[in-house]
Amino acid sequence: MRFRLLLLVASLAGCTDASRTAREFDAQRDGQIGALIARDTPQSLATASLLLNFKTNPESQALIDRAVSMAPARAEIIYVQWRECAFHKCADAEKIIERLKAIDPDNGLAWLPELNAAKEGKSEAEVTRLLARIGATRGLTLYWNSLIAMMADALRENGASIGAPASNPRLVGSVVTAIGVLAAVGIPPLQSLGKACRLDQFDQPGRRAACEAMTARLMESDTVIMQGLGLSIQEKWWPEGGAERERLRAQRRQFDYLMFESSRERVLHMNRDWAVRLEAMRNFRREQDVERAMLIFYHEPLERPVNWKSPYPRRD
């Protein structure tokens, strides 16, 4: 779904009146941010901080810190605080990640900074331990659905969203803005997961078992990007043409089917379709469950038809 949604972001931006200048765009964004700050709720402040981060403004850190102080048990807002702290290289990163562990110990991403440090320090035993620790969680969670819903609701209260043409329904523009901003700043670097689980790393004691546990948790994560990473890591463990690699490729084709067919753009029904999608985001933790909800709404099968071909390169 992410690929199609980001294409929609680009297409909506492309439809904007060509005469709109960068200064006008900035003024609209600054007006949005000012209104969100004035509302002074955890949701509005977190949304304002994300919009400012899109502008790479260090004021965003102060806003997200205030949001966390107002809602100290909201894991998704603490997650945003961590990502913004990492972006601005603030001094409190370790303290923030410890708070996230305390609030949501089942989020495997909370152990990612330690894994990165162990990998950089070439502490292979510690890398294995941390992979196993991640493998004991529920999954690696970006809080994607809940953050998109939070931002979309906050932006809808402000009016038409940044970069959305005046003719675009307010709901659609708000969700699209939220997706574009969160995709830009909300995903941490994930390279260490793949590097630690290459075949040439399996001579480390316990590494393969730890990697198998970690990739199983990737498959239970809340976003398609995490699930796709899990498949990519596992595919490299098996020879081309082997039964296990073919099973993983079939699973990827099913993921492609869900993502592509659930993201169809029905111009005459856009507002209704996005309202259904946003409601599903409020109700489900996993992005894949939102995709399934959309296929049910469209009266389409949940399983990939035999003759369905993936539109993505080198999938079939």
Average pLDDT, the chain: 88
Q: Where is average pLDDT lowest: 19-23, 65-69, 217-221?
A: 19-23
pTM: 0.86
Output the pLDDT for position 13. Answer: 52
As a whole number of Å, the CA-based R_g of the chain is 20
In DSSP terms, 139 is beta-bridged to 107
Output the pLDDT for position 264. Answer: 86
Residues 6+ apart with CB under 8 A from 249: 235, 315
One-letter amino acid at 200 equals: D
**With bands split at pLDDT 50, 70 and 90, how would you rate the model's confidence at 162?**
very low
pLDDT at 268 over 60: yes
pLDDT at 10 over 90: no
Output the pLDDT for position 126. Answer: 97
Output the pLDDT for position 164. Answer: 42
CA distance 137 to 134: 5
Cβ(214)–Cβ(108) under 8 Å? yes
According to the per-residue pLDDT averaged within each range, which of 159-168, 181-190, 208-217, 239-248 is highest? 208-217
Q: Tell me the mean pLDDT in the region 125-152.
A: 96
Buried b (16+ CB within 10 A) or exposed e, 275-312: ebbbebbeebbbbbbbbebbbeeeeeeeebeeebebee
Read off the pLDDT of residues 76-105 as tens digits, 9 standing for 90 and up.
999 999 999 988 888 999 999 999 999 999
Read off the pLDDT of residues 168-190 as tens digits, 9 standing for 90 and up.
447 888 888 899 889 888 899 99
CA distance 219 to 297: 24
**In angstroms, what CA-CA distances link 248 with 227, 235, 237?**
11, 7, 11
Cβ(285)–Cβ(291) under 8 Å? no
